[in-house]
Structure 1
Amino acid sequence: MATGSQQVTEDYEQLKELLELYPNIAIVGTEGHPPDSYEIEYTLRGYVKEDDVSIGIGQTHRIRLNLPFGYPHFAPIAKPLTPVFHPDFDPAAIRLADYWQRNPSLPELVLHIGEMICGSIYNLEDPFNQEAAEWYRHHQAQLPLDTVTIADIEATTSDLDILEDGDLGSLGLERRDVPVSQPLAAQFEDSADTQYIRDLINENKIFAANRLLAELPANAHISDREELQQHIGKVLRKVDQLFKLAEQLESMAKLTEAMEVADNIKALAADAPGADALKRKIQQALQAAPAAPGKSGKQTEGKPPAAAAPPLPTKIAGKSLTWIGSVSFKPIAVAIVVLATAILTITLYFKDQKTLNQAQASLREGQLLVEKRQFEQALETLEGAKGMLSGLTILRVRKDTQEQAIDSLISSTELQEGLKGRVLYQGEYIPASVAASLDELGRLTDQAQALAGQNKIEQALPLYRQALKFATDRNLSKQQASISEIVQSLELRHTLAAAEKAEQGKNWDEAADAYRKALNLSGKMMNLGTTSDITSRMTAATFRHELDQSKKAFTQSQWKETIKYLEQAQQAIDANPSVVSEKERQDLHLLLVNSRLYFMLSTAREAYEQKNWPQAIEEYQSALNLLTSEPESTGSLRGESVGKIEKTLLMVKIAQIQDQILAAEGKEDPSLVLNRYKEIHRLIKESAHQSDSAVKGVAQKVAEKIEKQQEALLQRDKIAWLEEHFEEIFRANYPTFKGSRLSQPKAAFSKKIGSRLVFTLTCMERSPGSASKLELNYQFDTSNGRWSVYNY
């Protein structure tokens, strides 16, 4: 039994040898000796999520595989290093535990991950990634995107000893008991080439059929090309897997099993490249292998036969008899038992082998029945194959592999959907009843389309509406949306024809109503499908309609509605300016600019009244910018309005700062209050309206506030200095209290005399046995920046 380290080493060597056959999978990095961490690169087409929104197809993917403590009893841990959009992939892990329990082989696991990436294997029942599961569910017809294939195998030309056909017959290994599958397609009316392809498939010449099918032009009429391609692809993938299995069995010295797999390859694809060479190589190894002791009647080369045992006496009826040159009855009896056991074992072996072959043939027959959509018969055949396997005795070890293959096909989406009465319709599984409804809907739409193509709109519309109702009643949402668009398009064409008829009769009201209806219909469609002349007239009618509506709103001072109509009118003519005159365009622009100006001023006034200073400032500034950028459109409004708006804007900014000053005063922050007053002073100094009487009055009040606030800050600063240096001041002026303890300083502004600020400074004096309050008047001269005692 291999140790953990030996197991890891053997797995590494097997993985390297295996990947030599698979050019699209490579080991790009390892860690550890022997490696317990792998970085694997897959050059396969697989889904990826781009920009966290769209789903694309990636060409290269990397996976990290770590072998945990307890390997191989515990499954390797896999993590995608590049994004993979797959139901069983998470950014931090890949679902592998279930597979590892069934097949604990590192090389097989690496191939398994590749098949997951390209979409051959995925789980929709309990996914890691629910979004990916939904995507795969709706795109199963497009899967797999790629295949994990081995490199091309060249047939060897070396001469090897092989068994003759008669040898196989003598061993009881003929395939006469294997049922021959029915032809893939019994009746077709395609070309001779396509019939030849089907004949090749029925003869199991899959590689020749694949080459011939690939050489046929894409536009060649092949009624079941997709079905043929799917069948060939399945067989080719199975052949690849069997090649791999045979070589692994050969490397493990399981030559009989390897030969059996090689026979299966030939049964699946009689013309598989390298299959004959593989069989010859395995047969040669079988012939060269030494016979197991006790199982061969042949004499070993180079050794003489063993000497005969001396005769033993045997008593019969009281007489002693001696058998010369023979053996006693007991060894003979033992030999007979051994021989009978061997015969029984061989009989059971061949019986089991026959059962396995029959089950394998039934599995292939079930696959063909599924491809022909004979689902009930396929299920019956597959369940019969499972029943055969229950009778295995000697070869029960192979039962699980066969059952897994049968269960996999039974649980496949194609078979399960078919049993539910669902059919593949345009790449999606749908109930057969729905497919029938779609066919009926197609007949209705074909009739309507023929009438529409003859420009018989009035006759086509009822049929399309009937088809729309049919699709709605049966919840055919996709078709319902498509037919609805066609109905809207035809209704638009019918309405435009009525508008044109009204224009010819000079019935302008009716024409305008028809164009408005056409405009409403066109808003629900992606493509008008009308001539340029009709489009121009509809644009002109739309323009005049929106212009009329905007004038009504303008007279009622409904500025927002006015702007909306005017902008819609502008959009109507932007794409086709030739439908209106130059004067109409200028009038529209003038009306739009003035409406925007009035709207800005109205909004600013409302914001001012609500003390929403930022919005008021923004709207007044926008009004100024509009007046400046559109001098021709605003005309006389510009000269008389700019000055008023600028002055109003200044006063709004001052009001906003005044609110900030009140907030700073509430927080007792004189420094912030002073800065805000200085900001107001700066705004007035920079304004073109500083000479205005009202603005002058504000400036004077602000200057007084600044002076008062500066004085208050100075007093606050000096009070803080006195309270910080109180002990030094008292001891300098009261030497008698030199040994006393001074505490609780308190300074307060008293009065101002010229350039001098007078403060009252107090503290508590404590000496042994007594306590008293000291007081001193101290002054600061702002002219020279000196402190001194103040004397009355």
Structure 2
Amino acid sequence: MSVARPQEDETIKELIAYFTDHQFITVTPHSPTNGKEAEVSYQLTGLIEDKEKISLSQHHAILLSIPFGFPLFPPNCKPLTPTFHPDFDPGAICLGNFWTDKTTCAELVEFISRMITGEVYSKENAFNERAAQWYAAHADNFPLAELAQTAIAPSLPEVREDDFSINFDAISLESSPTDEGQATTPDKERGYNLSLLQEYLAQKRFNQLNRELQAIPTESTFNERRSFQQRADKALLVAQKKQKEARLHEENGETQSALDKYRQALEEVSDLYDVKDNIKRLEQAIILEGKKAKNPLPTKESKKQNILGRISPLPTLILFAIISAIIALQFFKDTGRATSATGLYQQCITALERKEFRTAQALCESAQVKSSASSLFYGKKLSSIEAKSKEILLSAQIRQGLTANLSNKKGQDKKSQEKIITFSTVIAQVQTAITNRDWPKTNAGLRQARSIAKTDKEKKILLQTKAEISFYQAHERALTEYKRNGCKSAEPLLQTAQKKAQTLVGSAIEHALQDIRFSLKECAFQQLTEKGEKLYKTASWAQALPIYRDALEKIKDNPLAKQNSAAETENKISKIALYIMIAQGNEAFTNGEWEQAIAAYKRAITNLEGKGLSDPEEDSAMSSKKLKRIILQTEIIQNQQVGENYKEAKLFAQAIKTYQHIAKTIKQSAFAEETAFIQIQEEMSSDLKMLKNEQFVEEKRVALQRQQIDIFLENYPAATPETLLAPKILFIKDEAGKLIYRMEATDTSQNRPLTLVMYYAYNKATDQWQFAPRPEAD
């Protein structure tokens, strides 16, 4: 029994029958003992790769296998020839979104033929990247359908790796060599191929049909040409109208309506490949991405409420206590630093008023050091103290006061005093120029200070000033490059500036460093998201998830992060987690691990409905509905297997109960009115009827078995219960309202064993047993 599908061997038989006498495609069983596999051969022109050499070939073959869970899962397709195609690799063929549970295997085989000729291929996320690059470079040469009707010389021109080019003209229809004396095909004489045109028409490939008709010379007239052209023109006109309507719906934000119109267009004309891309994009938008305008991202407050709602009170209190303790500790540290810096600054002012210049200098320098460290609670106050302390240290008052003190020292001449004052003045001018980012003045002042500096202290001040200039210049270059050209070129400059600040102190330095740190984090975020996006596009969910989590850490509390970056990254993480759960369910389904598959799908539904994804409510419901449908299908297959096992063990009561449970489950589900599940219910009803009949037949067989020895003894007086060996009863058939059974036993009472055979029939109308003649077929 099946889930709304034929048995696998019947699918292969139907596929073979479908392509019997086909002009280009042949389907044969792959193995006489395996009815689930077929070998499909294509006599079509495509590309092959042999030892990195690309050439044309007219023979391509694939192995098509029907998997467990078909048609929910597509047939497995594996190349048997080295076909060179973006979607082919040695182990599999990527079908993209082509397969649905309504697609037939015949449609799949024909779709792969279009892939081989280059009519269909992926331009992004290809299995074979080298082939994708090759196809992109030679897009004008595809499709190769026009080469499919003629034999190609055994020795084909190879494609060199260095130029990636094929001389298609050299192997065109007109120049293909033929065997000596070979007759020219009638199609070539006519200038067109009627069979090929009919095939395009049947497949609704009206774009290709129109191109073929336009290429046929006007003098080549045939009866079907006008009707072919009319049908192509009409279909293309309808499809264009549908596309236009779809675009209008999309512009108005009516995603579902746009998707419906694109699908209608594709039903009219099957080779609208841009429409296929649009359908894929909108399906993803509806099912997974959602329409953000209808479901705005949750606010920080709502997220906070959701998180708190899920956390039990005790852990919340403990967490709150820990956080409060950390904050309190930091507050006390900052308060102590601010109090100390404020006191030192006030003492500096007092000393300055008393004209104790040396003491004032020491106090202001200490205040400057204390206030230079970053603070969570007193940042502005400490920055103000640092700036004021620095202003005093560079002021004329303290410089003159210190100079006056120096003049009182013995041996200190007036010229030396003037140099000290000049040096202090120049350094003050340099600091002002640094603040204003006036680098010409800064460099000029630095050269002047270098010529004046004599003492070790002055030289130390000069080195410190040079280090600050170097840092601020590097900082400015890095941020300018970052704003202009982004991270790629700015990141090395940012790292250089960060290294230059390792020996520097001060709140201004710390603020500049903070800008660099934020910029580097933003660069790291961009790199991680680019890497994550590549993995995301190739469905490498497990590898992408930790990368996006790292990226999220980089932009938390980063003022340079773009608006909504954190929310979008969190949303992406939630989606990846959803995809991982679905992938786990699919893998378990493929392996027949039903309980694990159901559990994974249910986790995915919980994630989709309760984790704050950005899908609109109705789209989330649509995705949830799809997963719930798969869960129901999984439960049906699981219970069918259980029922089949009961049936094989002749436990008919348990089998009937299982099938009744399946029917009840479907009836109570939201999918009971869907065609596929209506068909399953009909199958269940038919199977239940058959099971009950088999149960009745088995019950009568068991009843007859209890009387078998007595019946043999009554009809074979020479036999005894001890001499009757290996008794058995076989049901033969149900004929004319009678159940006919064959009874056998071996009698060993004579010199040699004798097989005794009797036929007994149960009359269902009279509920009576009687002897029956031997059936003709037995």
**Between Structure 1 and Structure 2, whose CA radius of gyration is higher?**
1
Q: Answer 1 or 2: higher relative contact order, Cα 8 Å, separation at least 6.
A: 2
> With structure 1 as the length reference, what TM-score do the two structures score?
0.29
